[in-house]
Amino acid sequence: MSGVRYRRRGTAIVETDRGILLTAGRHGKFELPGGGAERGESRFIAAFRELTEETGLLPYAAEIIFRHRGEIRPTMSGRHEFQNHHTVCLVKASGTPRPNGKDVQRIAHYYPGCNVSISTETKQIIERYYEWKKKRHGTNEFNILDEDDADAQDVVEGGAGNDYENG
């Protein structure tokens, strides 16, 4: 194996009356909506784009609430290792979530004590979200904020042209 690659990922938390919105694809475990930022795209915008692509929801308010680094894992090919670098955004969106049928086949909602099988990273992010929410003291204010990726340590100029970058 040669080196760790860092994946710049935008991740959306959409909390509804039914719980936190989750999506699942082929592998079966549910995750938070989101995905890799395209070259030149901030992780904040990637979270919006992926949420819409995966569920059809239209975001109208959001704020970056924290950053999260996942565990280092091998890629599917086994030739490299990678680590997701999430920018986690709390998002308000309109519409009814529906799986897009391509990457997402199922929609679910997470709430404490539910029976939904979630990925380890999703569990870690949701736990951090609940801690953040408790500290926030229930305020419902939302700020439209974007990030400046220019100072992000996990961004490397050049690269392979996909959403993975050499670290």
Q: Are strands 81-94 and 58-69 parallel, antiparallel or unpaired?
A: antiparallel
Q: Where are the domains of the chain?
A: 4-147
CATH 3.30.300.20 fits 4-147, yes or no: no
Determine contact, residues 67/149, Cβ cutoff 8 Å: no
pLDDT in tens, 120-145: 999 999 999 999 999 886 555 554 44
Whether residue 40 is predicted with pLDDT greater than 90 in this model: the reply is yes
Q: Are 9 and 100 in contact (CB under 8 A)?
A: no
Name the burial class of residue 39, with classes exposed (0-12), middle (13-18) and buried (19+) by CB atoms within 10 angstroms of its CB. Answer: exposed
The mean of the pLDDT values for the chain is: 82
Residue range 12-36, pLDDT digits in tens: 999 999 999 999 987 678 999 999 9
Q: What is the pLDDT of residue 162?
A: 33
For the entire predicted model, the pTM comes to 0.78
Q: Express as a percent the part of the chain with pLDDT over 90.
A: 57
The per-residue pLDDT for 75 is: 80
pLDDT of residue 141: 55
Mean pLDDT of 36-42: 92
**pLDDT tens per residue across span 82-106:** 888 999 999 999 999 999 878 899 9
